[in-house]
């Protein structure tokens, strides 16, 4: 049985014990579980069944201060079409779209979307070639 399966089985055991005994307080003390956790599990179990007892990550899906998706799409478009770096993207957005954003934010957006490196162009070699 997997780790998640054991946790679900334990939660089910706690819920069934509370139904059998009829006293939530005693059940929570016996299993060492907080009552708020018990009630949260019970509501989730009644709404979704066993799928509601699976642990969910405690992080939000969208952060409150994250840059709007429209601006992020503009940044990605500028990178893909014109191969601009973060500083030039900032300048372009400020100059043509009146959008104020920092270069660090642009760099984070590019990194998050996997386009943080510009393609390498032809480079000059550092080898010394004598003039003969």
Residue in the structure block whose two tokens are 């979307």: 113
From CA 40, how far away is CA 43, in angstroms rounded? 5
Asked whether residue 41 falls in the same domain as residue 74, the answer is no
Asked whether residue 11 falls in the same domain as residue 44, the answer is yes
Residue 131 included in any domain: no
Burial zone of 17 (CB within 10 Å; 0-12 exposed, 13-18 middle, 19+ buried): middle
Residue 20 included in any domain: yes
Total number of domains constituting the chain: 2
Residue 129 included in any domain: no
For 90-104, the pLDDT digits (tens) are: 999 999 999 999 999
Query: Looking at residue 65, what DSSP letter applies?
Result: T
Q: Which of 47-56, 95-104, 105-114 has the lowest mean pLDDT?
A: 47-56
Residue 102 included in any domain: yes
From CA 55, how far away is CA 41, in angstroms rounded? 10
- Of 11, 35, 12, give the one whose Cα is nearest residue 23: 35
| Residue 31 pLDDT exceeds 60 | yes
Asked whether residue 49 falls in the same domain as residue 8, the answer is yes
Residue 59 included in any domain: no
Asked whether residue 46 falls in the same domain as residue 78, the answer is no
For residue 77, give its domain range.
Answer: 69-112
Residue 88 included in any domain: yes
Asked whether residue 8 falls in the same domain as residue 48, the answer is yes
Q: In 49-102, which residue ranges form alpha helices assigned H by DSSP?
A: 69-82, 86-96
When pLDDT is cut at 50, 70 and 90, the band that residue 61 belongs to is: confident
């Amino acid at each position: 049985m997997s780790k998640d399966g054991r946790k679900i089985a334990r939660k089910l055991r706690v819920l069934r014990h509370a139904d059998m005994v009829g006293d939530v307080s005693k059940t929570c003390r016996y299993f060492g579980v907080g009552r708020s956790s018990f009630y949260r599990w019970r509501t989730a179990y009644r709404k979704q069944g066993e799928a509601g007892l699976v642990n969910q990550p405690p992080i939000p899906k969208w952060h409150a201060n994250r840059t709007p998706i429209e601006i992020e799409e503009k940044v990605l478009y500028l990178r893909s079409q014109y191969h601009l770096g973060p500083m030039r993207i900032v300048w372009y957005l400020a100059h043509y779209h009146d959008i104020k954003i920092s270069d660090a934010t642009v760099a984070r957006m590019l990194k998050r979307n996997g386009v943080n490196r510009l393609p390498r162009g032809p480079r000059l070699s550092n080898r010394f070639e004598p003039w003969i």
